[in-house]
Chain A
Amino acid sequence: AQSVTQLDSHVSVSEGTPVLLRCNYSSSYSPSLFWYVQHPNKGLQLLLKYTSAATLVKGINGFEAEFKKSETSFHLTKPSAHMSDAAEYFCVVSGGYSTLTFGKGTMLLVSP
């Protein structure tokens, strides 16, 4: 069984400041982990994925995440927020074969 906990339901940053969205996971075996972004009334877009290769994963739009097994964490970061980054972000773990377990989501708010 696996689970995902996104530690913040909302994160507010100013444009140009760093972004940190926190995610902890639980899995009984080596997981695949993903971050997805969803803009209002849109589908989910894959930002990045970890599948047991490099622990620091780079994604699209300047985002990256680090897999830390000892801390069971997979936090998402970006050095400098842009207004277009305002969206809902989901941390997701795969249990293998087709099933994804979603966190509850973190809404990122970016102010000018």
Chain B
Amino acid sequence: DTEVTQTPKHLVMGMTNKKSLKCEQHMGHRAMYWYKQKAKKPPELMFVYSYEKLSINESVPSRFSPECPNSSLLNLHLHALQPEDSALYLCASSAPDGRSYEQYFGPGTRLTVT
């Protein structure tokens, strides 16, 4: 099973709202990622968690707050977003133990900020 699930599929929020994106995998992967993807562009890395610890933060604004409650779950908390934050948010996971480096992606959450 190489499935990564993400909820919700679509989210519309105002600039003053607080919402969360959720990601789950049951492949035993110990690295999980958040990416942001704008239309007709490749994904841009936002955060990397390795063994439930934040290992990479690509200078993402503080209105995005990641959380990794356990090895299977990854959340992205959103607060006071801007319209330019509207994008497809992708979660991915991989085995960080040197066996291979491919990442498995979820279907994404389409976020619209109004």
Name A's B-contacting residues (CB within 8 A): 32, 34, 36, 41-46, 49, 51, 90, 94, 96-100, 102-105
Contact = CB atoms under 8 A, between A and B. Distances in A.
B69 interface: no
Contact of B108 (A34, A36, A42): A42
Given A96-B101, A98-B48, A44 B43 contact: yes
Interface in B64-114: 88, 90, 92, 94, 96, 100-108, 110
9 closest A-B pairs by beta carbon, nearest first, are A102-B42, A94-B101, A43-B105, A44-B105, A43-B107, A32-B101, A43-B108, A98-B48, A49-B102
Given A42-B107, A98-B94, A103 B42 contact: yes
Q: On chain B, which size bracket covers the interface? A: 20 to 34
Contacts of B100: 32, 49, 51
A82 to B, nearest CB: 22
Nearest to B110: A41
